[in-house]
Homo-oligomer: A and B are copies of this chain.
Amino acid sequence: MTKQTDAARAAEDVPASQAGAQQAGGRMCADDRRLQIVQVALRLFSERGFRGTTTKEIAQTAGVSEAIIFRHFATKDDLYTAIIDYKGCAGLGASPVSAAAERPVIEQVCHSVAAAVEGSDDLAVFEGIALSMLEHHRGDPDFLRLLMYLALENHSLAQLFWDKNVRVLYEFLGDYIRRRQREGAFRDVEPNAVVRVFVGAVIHHSLVNLLWDRDPARRIFDVSNEEAARGFAEIVLRGVAADPSAKDSDSK
């Protein structure tokens, strides 16, 4: 009954190397099964935390017996690190478990930034970065949740993520602001303070959406990512604009 339902849900996660003909409970080659278990475990860990998820639950959701989890992964911890590897955690030192692994977060952000920087339009830069981050967070909520768990548990991977992603973003934005200050476009404020406000707003927005604002009926942040990104960029940019009435010189 529930097993049927779980098996059906698990089927969505099947890598689909020969999808369609495949039942969740059916036979599967080792790599596909491994990948499927990783994907199921990622979802469950991010929903209930590492300790809050049992290997039995993972097995049931994947539609297999518990024992085959331990055929593919020596321990539950092994499964945990396999997830991190699978997410290709921004060059965390490990190679992805599969070709399907996603690219590091920061690359996406930098790409969008690079494109925006071309026009040297401040609003486009900040809006682009904000939107890119918001979209990424919304598109992969599991990862954000997992990262929060990692950070709370003081896992070293969280520190590495900071260094490889957030720190890079901070330094990029800091440099950008300093440059614009030298060019006279921004007033003389502490660049890091501006960065903290901007990045803080974006991340906080994603976190609230992720953790608190799930029920659509009682949304407090009932704006699209586009609106939010634009709002953040506008307010922060106006906050650092060089001079009165010079505010619209660059944008639009």
Contact = CB atoms under 8 A, between A and B. Distances in A.
Interface string A198-218: 011111110000011000000
User: Which of under 10, 10 to 19, 20 to 34, or 35 or more describes the interface residues of A?
Assistant: 35 or more
Contacts of A205: 196, 200
B221 A196 contact: yes
A184 interface: no
Number of copies: 2
A51 B235 CA distance: 41
Contacts of A204: 196, 199-201, 203-204
A238 interface: yes
A222 to B, nearest CB: 9
Contact of A152 (B49, B192, B228, B237): B49
19 contacts: A49-B153, A148-B148, A162-B212, A189-B231, A189-B234, A190-B231, A193-B234, A193-B235, A194-B235, A196-B204, A197-B201, A197-B232, A197-B235, A200-B203, A201-B204, A204-B204, A234-B239, A238-B238, A243-B244
